[in-house]
Structure 1
Amino acid sequence: MNITKENVDELNAILKVTVEKEDYQEKVDSTLKDYRKKANIPGFRKGKVPMGIVKKQYGQNILGEELNRIVSEGLFKYVDEQDFEVLGNPLPKNDVEVKGDFNNPDTFEFTYEIGIAPKVDVKLSGRNKYEYTKVKIDKKLVDKQLEDLTRRYGKLSSGEKVGERDMVMGKFVELNDKGEILEGGVMNDSTISMEFVEDEKLKKEMIGKKPGDKITLDPRSVSRGESDTASMLGIEESELENVSNKFQLTINEVKVMEPAELNQELFDKLFGEGEVKSEKEMRAKIEKDLAEMFEKDSDKILTRRISNDLIKKTDLSLPDEFLKKWILASQKEPITKEEVEKDYENYARSLRWQLIQNKIFKDAEMKVEQEEALNYTKGLLVNQYAQYGMPAPDDAELTQSAQQVLGNQKEAQQIYDMLAEEKLTKYFKETVKLNEKEVDYDEYVKIAQDSNA
């Protein structure tokens, strides 16, 4: 077998695969003999069918399968041995017919097209400056976190009237266009959390209401999305389109969340027995925990900024038409050309970033080792146990659980990706010059949500 490459341009090439008779004949003959031994053809005893009949019935299929195997293995080996990187996989060139005669097999020639990765040149050093955004962890932020924690571990008690953060329990009854109870309409008991009501006019109207009071409202204005609305009304989401937007809510009960007291019992629940002994220590612990939590988000913002900058500066060209064909050919589920076109820019951007990452990893001699992935997975499992207040199992059991997780291809890929991102972020922080900038929480959230910030 012989493979030759013809360059179309810097990013596209044609591969011609020539397969000689000696490359496939021995295997084809061997397979035909096996078929002859097992063939059940009327009029002949098993194993005694004339080879001519076996060849006529099975020969071309066997030859096709063998040629396909030889060509596939040959292409894989050829691509692996080259000093250029192929994007996707070689694709048969549909406008060029296979050369060769299956009725009188001899030499065959197959033609494939390939997309070639562009050369990537990434230069990062201390001369590159990037902003590193941090949250200003002030008293306001600590107070909010402290309030959230005391409410989370607080207890519900009955209230006399509706407040801004109370829970309202009542009966929803569907009304008709005249504002009267709809016969056979939806009727269901449910709960409204006032702190999630975004309609300020309705919220103002509800505050101060007492058990027994009635109010007309649209259930969608006191719920969070279609699924939540359907659940509130006790119906299927698909039924919502046939339901009125006018309901009567009769308030049955108001529940007030009483925050937990700042005492040793709460400190131990939150941080472990004896770890925190006063409100002052709790505030210090909250401040420390917030700093650690936001550092991970700040790292993600930094990596995003650098990736956006590198994608723009490197301006990598891709074999776009080839890649679009490859995406169409490689999808498990059917996809149209229009769908490929629509999402291609996102795909191309992601591919450019992957090529840049690979170059950085190669130049910096970074890689994710199997042992690292195992230990990282064990750490994730320990954190999961801690979240549920459970002690981690012994190392042998933990290792076995981690190996099971990594045995799942999808989960393993996610873990390797997380590890790779951590290594990449660490490399960035050690390589470029960081200009730290503190912003308040609201500004930080805006930056984190803006993919271009």
Structure 2
Amino acid sequence: MDVSVNKIDALNAVLTVKISNEDYKTSYESSLKNHRKQMQLPGFRKGHVPTSIIKKKYGSSILAEEIDKILNKSIYDYITENKLNILGNPLPIEDEKIKIDWSQPSDFEFKYELGLAPEILPDLPGRLKYTKYQPKINEALIDKQVDDFARRYGKLTSVEKAGERDMIMANFKELDQSGNVVIEGFNQSSTVSLEFITDKKSKRKLTGCKPTDTFQLDPRKISRGEADMAAMLGIDKEKAKHYINDVLMTVNEVKTLEPANIDVVLFDKIYGAGEAKNEEEFRAKVNEDLNKMFVTDIDRLLKDEISTTLIKKLKIKLPDNFLKKWILSSNKKAKKEDIEKEYDRYAEGLKWQLIENFIIKDQELKVEGEELLNFTMELMGNQYVQYGMMIPEEDELKKTAQKVLSNNDEARKINDMIYDKKVMEYLKNTLKINDKFIAHEDFTKKVAELTQ
């Protein structure tokens, strides 16, 4: 057997595998014998079917299977031993002039396209200045968070009229185009929160409503998207998508949320007994948590600026045509036009991944088992705080973290997060970064733009 690589250019190569009869003869004949042992045909005892019949019936598929095993192993071994840094997987080159006859064992030759990873230069452009955007944590923002906590731990009480932030328990009936109730239509009791209605006209219409009041209105204007509307009306998402008529809404009850008192009882529920003894200490804890909450978004913005700049300055090139073909071959549902449309975004992500991999290797960054567990516990603790819940005891948190890490996919995701964090720490210490504090609204706007 002979395996060789012919470089076309810095990013593309052709791998050739030549397999002779001697390379697969033993395994092929062994496989034929195994099939013979298991095969049963009328007129023959089990294991005594003539080899000629086995070859005629299964010879081609057995040979193809054995050749495939040899191919996969030889390609993997060659790439590993020669430390070829490839992108994607080798793509077979189909030569229409060569037709393989699997019924006639002989010498075979196979060719594969390879996409080679570009070389990343070790000299990162550190002379450039990068901006680390951070939100200003002012008293108004702390007030809002305190108000959210008070409402989250408050209680609902019935009232006669609906205020702008109250909840309406109502019944919804389906109407036809003429405004008549559809007898076999939906008849669903649900809750509508006036606080989250964005349509001003609908909000004004419902503000001040009382039990037994009825309204004919467009359900889209009092819900937050099709999924919310489907849940409100008790219908599936597909019907909600095509529903165009009004609904009849009958108010059953109006409830208001009475916020919890800002006192030590609330402080203990959120942070644990004795963690905040008065409102001043409570607000200090809230301020601390807000800063923690924004750390992820601060790093996301910084990472976006650094990655965009480095990708541009390093002028990384990829084997674009190969990658497009590889994506198409590895995803049966993918369409060529969709790949062309999304390729630039994919390529940017891949270029950043190559930069990260270079830094991880160059700086010998590693993730240890204990580090993975501690990071998972910290991650989960932050989530509890974010939702205004008490962080469990360390032993309980540890058990939950271990359960999460028992899922290989979750463990891999968290492992990648730690590597991502280590790469960012390295870049923060290496590059010139200036802090810039901006209004919370502007910061939120910048973060939202990242997901568009």
CA distance in 2, matches of 1:34, 1:181: 72
Matches within 5 A, 1:376-395: 376-380=375-379, 389=390, 391-392=392-393, 394=395
CA distance in 1, matches of 2:101, 2:234: 68
> Could you tell me which residue of structure 2 aligns to residue 293 of structure 1?
293
Aligned residues: 450
Using the TM superposition, give the Cα deviation of residue 73 of structure 1 relative to its aligned residue in structure 2, in angstroms: 0.5
Which 5+ residue runs of structure 2 have no aligned equivalent?
Answer: none
Residues 367, 415 of structure 2: 8 Å contact kept: yes
SS at match of 1:90: strand
Q: 1:158 to 1:405 in 2, by over 3 A?
A: closer
CA distance in 2, matches of 1:438, 1:432: 19
CA distance in 2, matches of 1:219, 1:100: 63
AA at the equivalent of 1:228: D
Matches within 5 A, 1:63-82: 63-82=63-82
**Identical-pair percentage:** 46
CA distance in 1, matches of 2:142, 2:44: 88
Q: 1:28 to 1:251 in 2, by over 3 A?
A: closer
Q: 1:97 to 1:43 in 2, by over 3 A?
A: farther
Q: 1:247 to 1:47 in 2, by over 3 A?
A: closer
Residues 98, 110 of structure 1: 8 Å contact kept: no
Task: Describe the superposition over 1:404-426 as per-residue Cα deviations: whole angstroms up to 9, x where unpaired.
Answer: 54443322221122112211221
Using the TM superposition, give the Cα deviation of residue 402 of structure 1 relative to its aligned residue in structure 2, in angstroms: 4.9
AA at the equivalent of 2:141: L
Task: Describe the superposition over 1:168-221 as per-residue Cα deviations: whole angstroms up to 9, x where unpaired.
Answer: 223334445555555555443332211101011222333333444443321211
> Could you tell me which residue of structure 1 aligns to residue 349 of structure 2?
350
CA RMSD of aligned residues (A): 2.9
Q: 1:127 to 1:167 in 2, by over 3 A?
A: same
> Could you tell me which residue of structure 2 aligns to residue 269 of structure 1?
269
> Could you tell me which residue of structure 2 aligns to residue 16 of structure 1?
16
CA distance in 2, matches of 1:304, 1:259: 39
CA distance in 2, matches of 1:60, 1:187: 63
TM-score when scaled to structure 2?
0.89
CA distance in 2, matches of 1:37, 1:184: 65
Does 1:441 find its partner at 2:446? Answer: no
SS at match of 1:450: helix
Matches within 5 A, 1:303-452: 303-331=303-331, 333-380=332-379, 389=390, 391-392=392-393, 394=395, 398=398, 402=401, 405-451=404-450
Residues 99, 110 of structure 1: 8 Å contact kept: no
> Could you tell me which residue of structure 2 aligns to residue 196 of structure 1?
196
> Could you tell me which residue of structure 2 aligns to residue 227 of structure 1?
227
Matches within 5 A, 1:48-127: 48-95=48-95, 102=102, 104-121=104-121, 123-124=123-124, 127=127
Q: 1:381 to 1:298 in 2, by over 3 A?
A: closer
Larger mean CA deviation between 58-67 and 265-274 belongs to 58-67
Larger mean CA deviation between 427-436 and 95-104 belongs to 95-104
> Could you tell me which residue of structure 2 aligns to residue 256 of structure 1?
256
CA distance in 1, matches of 2:380, 2:435: 33
CA distance in 2, matches of 1:361, 1:87: 18
Q: 1:195 to 1:128 in 2, by over 3 A?
A: same
CA distance in 2, matches of 1:114, 1:11: 8
CA distance in 2, matches of 1:311, 1:410: 28
